[in-house]
Amino acid sequence: MTIEAVYPDPALFGHDPWWLVLGKALAIFVFLVLTPLLTILAERKVMAWMQMRVGPNRVGPRGMLQSLADGIKLALKEGIVPKGVDKPIYILAPIIAAVPAFMAFAVIPFGPAVSIFGHYTPLQLTDLPVAVLYVLAATSIGVYGIVLAGWASGSTYPLLGGLRSTAQVISYEIAMALSFAAVFLDAGTMSTSGIVAAQDHTWYVFLLLPSFLIYVTSMVGETNRAPFDLPEAEGELVGGFHTEYSSLSFAMFMLAEYVNMVTVSALATTLFLGGWHAPFPLSLWDGANSGWWPVLWFTLKVWGFLFVFVWLRATLPRLRYDQFMGLGWKILIPISLVWVMIVATVRAFRNEGYDVRSIALVVAGLVVALVVVMLLWKRLRPGRVPAPEKRVEPQGRAEPSPETLEPFDPMAGGYPVPPMPGQTLPAFRRTPVSVTSAHSTGSTQENSDD
């Protein structure tokens, strides 16, 4: 059976009856609304299991209705609009953040062509010759909602969160687009159904391993998820870009975040894990890649990526902002450029008739992937900081003198930090409190206690 017979050309899309197109769109919308509800519950349960906690266990059997209760609670809360906001943009920002996430799923293939009420149609809403670029453009528009929310709130911390999100998108969109370029070069098409067809025998996670690693890193940064959740870092920016939002507006931002997680996971499945193709050894079964079974394989792969999102949040601390930006500009983008050149060279040899694709890409991919892992480890896991010298505690209740405090260098880690309790800056010395007055104060306190 030829590839064209199984994977229809993008030009064949758009000929379904209106009720079938409406049914596909409705099915995708329901899938994207229900998946975040299940993902939020699974995230809280899995994180509780990883961190040896109980997790939600009150609402419904074993807490299964907790996500639904949270959604109802947000819907019933009063929507508060602070004074001083740019009201039209303030109200429009959550919509701008959520709608593109739904739009991007229009070109994702769920499965092969099947028969629905006598109509032979692919399990995909539509396809384009530049479908992956359409997804990249749609997900890029979503960041405008975050930026406009921060700007329209009229507050300092939301504005900083919006600016951080802008910087993240600029840096990580470049690395993500370069990882796409390697897939385009090898597959010879930008159509999502064509890319799935090109992985009929070997998935791109094996042939284009560096592109896969770069994309996985970029998609975590693109969705503002931990450890890259700097636009909403509660320890630094209160709540980030959505600090001034409540009720359904806040729920829209939450929905946009989780739908974006599903979208990038589905795109990673399509580009690197064979799309709806059955994994080995299930692929040895003749019926594994026909009928409605591929929908199950596709969904399981997407949930595998969603589990990775939860796993990262439960285990890794948030990166500093300079580390995060340095990771994108100094590691991911240069390595992506080198890897695209390698893939283009292999593609040129293939066009000339030299069949060196599999061996060259696997060997080069392993080397580049090893370099990526080493650089990430070196950058994100610096050398251990030596233990501080033991402080000499003064006798009695006197205030410690400057001579007894341990030395403190605020730039020891390459980033200025404030002193901890018991430390003092070298250029600033506190005026020591007399021991006599401290003892007399302590004696008075003891007498009052007696």
Q: How far apart are CA 137 and CA 288, in angstroms?
A: 33
pLDDT tens digits, residue range 74-126? 888 888 888 888 888 888 999 888 888 888 889 999 988 888 888 888 888 88
Tokens of 233: 């870092």
Rounded average pLDDT over 129-134: 89
Mean pLDDT over the full length of the chain: 80
Among 23-27, 57-61, 85-89, the range with the most confident prediction by mean pLDDT is: 23-27
pLDDT band per the 50, 70, 90 thresholds, residue 291:
confident
The residue type at 142: G
Q: Find the range with the poorest average confidence among 63-72, 302-311, 434-443.
A: 434-443
Rounded average pLDDT over 384-404: 50
Q: Is the pLDDT of residue 3 over 50?
A: no
pLDDT band per the 50, 70, 90 thresholds, residue 447:
very low
pLDDT band per the 50, 70, 90 thresholds, residue 405:
low
Nearest to 282 by CA among 266, 299, 263, 296: 296
Question: pTM of the full predicted structure?
Answer: 0.77
Among 379-383, 413-417, 431-435, 444-448, the range with the most confident prediction by mean pLDDT is: 413-417
Among 28-37, 249-258, 317-326, the range with the most confident prediction by mean pLDDT is: 28-37
pLDDT > 90: percent of the chain: 17
Annotated domain spans of the chain: 10-379
pLDDT on residue 60 = 85
pLDDT band per the 50, 70, 90 thresholds, residue 366:
confident
Q: Find the range with the poorest average confidence among 37-46, 357-366, 383-392.
A: 383-392
Q: Is the pLDDT of residue 443 over 70?
A: no
Rounded average pLDDT over 123-146: 87
pLDDT on residue 399 = 52
pLDDT on residue 7 = 56
C-alpha to C-alpha distances, 49 to 43, 63, 68, nearest whole angstrom: 10, 14, 21
Rg (CA), the chain: 27
Q: Find the range with the poorest average confidence among 36-50, 366-380, 403-417.
A: 403-417
Q: Is the pLDDT of residue 327 over 50?
A: yes
Q: Find the range with the poorest average confidence among 1-10, 91-100, 317-326.
A: 1-10
Q: Is the pLDDT of residue 130 over 70?
A: yes
